[in-house]
């Protein structure tokens, strides 16, 4: 960027920037954006000129090596001869089915009410904003003062304020 600015006449840039009311920094940002636009347009032009995606890789050579290995194993050769490899398959599966399953698991977990008078540390840790230390504080308070009479009694525990209590109040109960 600096080299580009030095290449152009700095005084000319300053005159233009003062004419339009831009600072030196704003001019540098504008030049950067123009260069980025030019580079992006160039890449797009090159991709379209060749008629295919430059980032797409053809795995035919690797497939043929794989098939040669399979042919050398006469027992399994028939099974894999016509196997097609989907080289455009994504590595991570973000299909709607997987996302829906995860959302259902989260909803199921969030619907379970935790009885604060009988919960263990791992159950307390599953609550948002409650860590190991706060869970131990809750259990310690419960052991010292007896069972909780109302869920608001959690506000008496060090480490649980109004904001944290508001996050967990819909997930806890007293039975």
Secondary structure of 97-111 in HEC code, one letter for each residue: HHHHHHHHHHHHHHH
- What confidence score (pLDDT) does residue 6 get? 55
Supply the pTM of this predicted model: 0.40
pLDDT tens-digit profile of 23-69?
Answer: 878 878 888 999 999 999 988 887 777 655 555 667 777 777 766 76
What average pLDDT does this structure show over 139-146?
Answer: 92
The yes-or-no verdict on residue 90 having pLDDT over 50 is: no
pLDDT of residue 48: 73
Measured distance CA(27)–CA(17) in Å, rounded: 7
pLDDT tens, position by position, 101-125:
766 666 555 567 889 999 998 888 8
Q: What is the pLDDT of residue 12?
A: 72
Q: Does the pLDDT at position 144 exceed 90?
A: yes
User: What average pLDDT does this structure show over 127-150?
Assistant: 91
Per-residue pLDDT, averaged over 150-167, amounts to 91
Token pair listed for 123? 């159950």
173 pairs with which residues across the strands? 115
In the three-class reduction of DSSP (H, G, I as helix; E, B as strand; rest coil), residue 16 is classed as helix
């Amino acid at each position: 960027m600096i080299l580009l600015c030095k290449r152009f006449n700095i005084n000319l840039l300053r005159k233009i920037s003062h004419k339009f009311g831009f600072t030196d920094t704003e001019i540098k940002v504008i030049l950067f954006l123009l260069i980025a636009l030019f580079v992006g347009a160039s890449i797009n032009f090159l991709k379209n000129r060749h008629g295919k995606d430059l980032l797409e890789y053809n795995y035919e050579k690797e497939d043929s090596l794989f098939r040669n290995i399979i042919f050398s194993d006469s027992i399994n050769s028939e099974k894999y001869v016509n196997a097609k490899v989907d080289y455009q398959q994504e590595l991570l599966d973000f299909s709607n089915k997987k996302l829906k399953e995860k959302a259902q698991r989260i909803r199921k977990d969030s619907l379970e009410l935790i009885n604060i008078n009988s919960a263990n540390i791992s159950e307390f840790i599953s609550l948002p904003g409650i860590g190991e230390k706060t869970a131990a504080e809750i259990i310690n308070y419960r052991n010292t003062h007896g069972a909780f009479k109302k869920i608001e009694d959690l506000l008496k525990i060090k480490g649980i304020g109004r904001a944290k209590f508001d996050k967990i109040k819909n997930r806890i109960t007293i039975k």
